[in-house]
């Protein structure tokens, strides 16, 4: 019986987590727009720029931007927002905007290093040579799931759509 208990304990080393995803028909991450997919992505690009995001990718069907935050001296957050624009009607005048925001968290980690000096004829001598290294270590990553967050983004995109509707596609 002791061997069976030991084997069972060895096999249970893998931590399991409850299912994190539930697929449903909520509109948290997507919105319909009365505009072409290209116009929706251009309005999304402008919305991100207006909030201080750096645009990493800007195409007719995809926009991605990132922004950094430092809420505390030793903490850093980075937000990446990705917008995928897809036509939703046969004539291309209605599109769907799919948006996801990923927030990565970093913490400052310090490590001390010490050194000793060795001389062959004398032996080793310990001298107080110390230094410290500081680096930002990623400690977490989460997809933002707040309805309020996405609603405010989609509202801003709608505002910019009013200005891009009349732009010729070559002007973008």
DSSP characters for 52-75? TPEEEEE-SSEEEEEEEEEEETTE
Return the ∠ at Cα 136 (arms to 134 and 138), rounded to 5°. Answer: 150
Q: Is residue 47 part of a domain?
A: yes
Q: pLDDT band for position 109 (50/70/90)?
A: confident
pTM over 0.95: no
Q: Is residue 122 part of a domain?
A: no
Q: Is residue 67 part of a domain?
A: yes
The domain total for the chain is: 1
* Boundaries of domain holding 47: 27-114+127-165
Q: Is residue 171 part of a domain?
A: no
N-term to C-term CA, the chain: 73
CA 12 to chain centre: 32
Q: pLDDT band for position 165 (50/70/90)?
A: low
pLDDT for res 121? 60
Q: Is residue 18 part of a domain?
A: no
pLDDT for res 14? 84
Q: Is residue 64 part of a domain?
A: yes
What tokens does 40 get?
A: 């929706």
> What's 36's domain CATH number?
3.30.530
**Is 112 a residue whose pLDDT tops 60?**
yes
Q: Is residue 143 part of a domain?
A: yes
What tokens does 139 get?
A: 């400690």
- Mean per-residue pLDDT, 19-32: 77
């Amino acid at each position: 019986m002791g061997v069976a208990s030991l084997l069972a304990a060895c096999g249970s080393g893998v931590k399991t987590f409850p299912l994190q995803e539930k697929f449903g028909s909520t509109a948290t991450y997507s919105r319909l727009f009365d505009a072409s997919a290209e116009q929706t992505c251009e309005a999304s690009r402008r919305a991100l720029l207006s909030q201080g995001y750096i645009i990493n990718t800007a195409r007719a069907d995809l926009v991605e931007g990132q922004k950094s935050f430092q809420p505390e001296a030793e903490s850093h957050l980075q937000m990446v927002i990705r917008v995928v624009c897809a036509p939703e009607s046969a004539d291309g005048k209605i599109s769907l905007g799919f948006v996801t925001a990923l927030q990565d968290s970093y913490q400052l980690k310090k490590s001390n290093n010490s050194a000793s000096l060795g001389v062959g004829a004398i032996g080793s001598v310990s001298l107080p040579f110390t230094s410290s290294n500081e680096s930002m270590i990623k400690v977490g990553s989460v997809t933002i799931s707040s309805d309020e967050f996405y609603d405010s983004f989609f509202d801003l995109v709608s505002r910019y759509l009013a200005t891009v509707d009349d732009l010729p596609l070559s002007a973008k």
